[in-house]
């Protein structure tokens, strides 16, 4: 083994391996540019057709978790429904009267709100009409679209006011929303 590494002259260092004994590699033929172009066009056409097909089907909406019912519960519907005793006549009458008085209350609430709203809107419109009679320029400025105040955030009240001098504990807010 050691003797094979000794040479008396300059060795050519041929390595008689499998690649040397195999057929010489074929020369790469130059494809006709027209054929190449046609192939590229065909591929592009196929991709465009696939895109059109996918775009035709309306994209599905993300599911709203609070509106979906648990599958396990859906399966248990039969065992979970109650068989209540029949309702007495007194009770049905009491319920009907309660519903009527609630409807009446909500109706008056709605009418009161509509009254206020219509007063507001009609007074606005009469003011705009008067303004128009006064000066057209000011009227146009008054009804001009001005989106500088958007986006506008309005917050509702809170149950308890903030505690003065409150030191919040350390903690983390980790976003666990489902990623698509």
Partner 1 sequence: MLPVIRIFVPRISSPWESIAKLGGCARTHFSSSAVNCGIYSPEDLPPPGPPQFAPINLRIRGYDFTLVEHYMYYLTRLAHNVGVPNTKRWATPAVSTRVTSFKPQSSLLQNEYELNLFERNVLLTGASVSILSTLLDVMNSTLPEGVSVTAKVMEPADEEMRRVPDYELVALKGQLAEMASEREKKKKG
Q: How far is the CB of 144 from partner 1 (least distance, A)?
A: 7
Q: Which is nearer to partner 1, 23 or 65 (CB)?
A: 65
Distances (CA, A) of 108 to 44, 96, 104, 114, 125: 66, 19, 6, 10, 25
- For partner 1, the closer CB: 52 or 71: 52
CA distance 59 to 56: 9
- Segment interacting with partner 1, rule: CB under 8 A, options 7-15, 19-27, 42-50, 78-86: 42-50
**Interface residue with partner 1, options 156, 161, 162, 165 (CB under 8 A):** 156
Structural tokens at position 164: 């003065």
Residue 103 contacts partner 1 per CB under 8 A: no
Cβ nearer to partner 1, comparing 32 with 65: 65
Residues 6+ apart with CB under 8 A from 180: 62
Q: What residues numbered 73-92 form the site for partner 1, per CB under 8 A?
A: none
Report the run of H or E that residue 139 belongs to, with start and end: helix 136-143
C-alpha angle 153/155/161, rounded to 5°? 145
Q: Per rule CB under 8 A, is residue 65 in the interface with partner 1?
A: yes
Q: How far apart (Å, rounded) are the C-alpha atoms in residues 98 and 96?
A: 5
Which stretches of the chain bind partner 1, using CB under 8 A? 40, 43-44, 47-48, 50-51, 54-55, 59-67, 108, 111, 114-115, 117-118, 120-121, 124-125, 128-129, 142-147, 150-159, 169-178, 180
């Amino acid at each position: 083994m050691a003797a094979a590494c000794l040479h008396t002259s300059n060795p050519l260092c041929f390595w008689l391996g499998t690649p040397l004994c195999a057929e010489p590699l074929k020369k790469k033929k130059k494809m006709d540019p027209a054929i190449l172009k046609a192939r590229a066009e065909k591929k592009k056409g196929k991709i465009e057709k696939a895109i059109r097909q996918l775009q035709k089907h309306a994209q599905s909406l993300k599911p709203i978790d609070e509106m979906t019912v648990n599958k396990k519960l859906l399966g248990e519907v039969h065992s979970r429904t109650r068989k209540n005793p029949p309702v007495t006549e007194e009770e049905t009458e009491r319920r009907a009267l309660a519903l009527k008085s609630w409807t009446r209350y909500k109706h008056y609430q709605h009418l009161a709100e509509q009254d206020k709203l219509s007063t507001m809107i009609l007074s606005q419109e009469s003011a705009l009409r008067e303004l128009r009679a006064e000066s057209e320029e000011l009227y146009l400025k008054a009804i001009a679209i001005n989106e500088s105040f958007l986006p506008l955030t309005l917050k509702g009240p809170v149950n308890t006011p903030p505690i003065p001098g409150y030191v919040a504990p350390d903690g983390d807010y980790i976003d666990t929303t489902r990623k698509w």
